[in-house]
Amino acid sequence: MNRSRLPRAVWLLGWVSFATDAATEAVYPLLPIFLTQVLGASALSLGIVEGAAEAASSTLKIASGWVADRARAKRPLVLAGYLVSSAVRPFIAIAQSWTHVFGLRLFDRVGKGVRTAPRDAMLASWATPATRGRVYGFHRGMDHAGAVAGPVLATLFLIAYPGDYRTLFALTIVPGAIAVALIFFVREDADLRPRQAVQPLSPVQSFPPSFPRFMFVLVLFTLGNSTDAFLLLRLTDAAGGAQYVPLMWSALHVVKASTSFLGGSLSDRFGRRTIIGAGWLVYAAVYAGFAVSESLGALLSWFLVYGLYFGLVEGTEKAFIADLAPSSRRGVAFGIYHAVLGFGALAASVLVGILWTTGGPAVAFGVGATLAMAAALLLFLVV
C-alpha cells in the first residue's frame, strides 16, 4: 500500500462509520436524561441497559470473528450488522419504559457485534505492519467525525423543538440508510480467495503469549471503564438540563477525531505499548478529575481531555491486535478483544451504578481512576 494514501475501501468503510455514528451519537448522549427523567429509570438501570447491551454485542463479536476467519468474504457479515442496527435504532422513539429501551439497545448492539470483528479484520487486509496505526487511526477518526455531526444536528433540533426526543430518535433512520447503502460499494479482495480450512476450536490457540497477556491487562483496565453515560449524567446534573449536552458530546468527538489519526501514526513510530499506556494514564487523570470536580467548567474541561485518551488508544489497540494475531486468526482475535471490552463494560457499568447509588459520583469515578493506573503499570510489566 502506498504509505501516502489509504485504499478506497478504507475510505468507504470510514464513511460508513461516519454515517452510523452520526445516527448513534445523536441518540446516545440523550439516553441518560431520556431514561432517568422521561421514563423514570434509576442510575443502576442506566448501567444495566448500557452494560448488558455491550456484553451481548461482545458475545457475538467472538462468534462473528470466528465465522469471518472461515468465510471466503467478510462483507456479508459487515452488511448484516449495519443493517440490523440501522433498522432498530429509530424505534427508541416509541419506547414507553426503560425495558423497551433495553431491548432496542440490545438489538442495536447485536448488529454491532455481528459487524465489528469482520470489519476490523477487513481493514487489516488493506494495511501493512508499518501502516496499521494509520489505517485504524483514520477509521476511528471518521467514526468520531460522525459522532461530531450527529450531536450537533441533535442540538440544533432540540433548540428548535425542545424536549422532542422521540422525533429526533426517529430521524436517525436517514443516516443509518446511507451507511448501509455505502457498504455495497466496498470491494473485498477476500471475495476472490478460496474458502479457508476449518480453524482450531480453541479461540486462543495459535496466538503468541503476548496476546493473552495483553487481554489479561485489558480486563483490569475495562473493569474501571464504565459506560460514558455516567459522565454524561454528571455533566447533565452540573449543566442543570440536557439541552446542550449533545453539543458537549460533539465537542468530545472533535477531540477524538482530531487526535485518532495522530495517535495511530505515533504508535507506528514509537510502539503500540507506549501509546496505549499513555492513553490509559490520561483516562485515569480524567476520572480522578470527575471525582473531585463540581463546577460545569471543570467537568467540561476534563471531558474534553477525555477525547485524547480515545485518540491515543482506540486505533492503537486495534493495530496492536493485528500485530499480535496471525492473519488467519484475526477475526477471532478482534472478537476476543471486543468481547473483553464489552463484558468489562458490563461489569464496570453495574459496579459504577452501585457505587454511584451508595457512595456518590466521587467514589465511582475514583475507583475507575485507580484501576486505570494499575492497568497502565501492568502493561509494561506483563506484556
202 found inside a domain: no
Q: Is it the case that residue 201 has pLDDT exceeding 50?
A: no
Helices 8-27 & 98-125 angle (0-180, nearest 10): 170
d(CA 67, CA 92): 30
244 found inside a domain: yes
CATH number at residue 101: 1.20.1250.20
Q: What is the mean pLDDT of the chain?
A: 85
Residue-number span of the structural domain to which 306 is assigned: 8-186+208-382
The pLDDT value given to residue 54 = 67
Look up residue 51 and give its amino acid: G
109 found inside a domain: yes
Torsion of CA 218, 322, 307, 40, to 10 degrees: -60
Give the distance from CA 363 to its chain's centroid: 24
Looking at the structure of the chain, the number of domains it has is 1
The pLDDT value given to residue 200 = 47
191 found inside a domain: no
Least confident of 42-56, 71-85, 149-163, 260-274: 42-56
The pLDDT value given to residue 272 = 92
106 found inside a domain: yes
pTM of the shown model: 0.72
CB 257 within 8 A of CB 379: no
Work out the pLDDT band at 196, boundaries 50, 70, 90. very low
114 found inside a domain: yes
Q: Which DSSP string corresponds to 87-139? A: HHGGGGGG--SHHHHHHHHHHHHHHHHHHHHHHHHHHHHT--TTTHHHHHHHH
376 found inside a domain: yes
pLDDT in tens, 350-379: 888 888 888 888 999 999 999 999 999 999
198 found inside a domain: no
Give me the mean pLDDT over the 164-183 stretch: 93
Query: How many residues are listed for the chain in this entry?
Result: 383
Give me the residue label for grid cell 431491548.
103
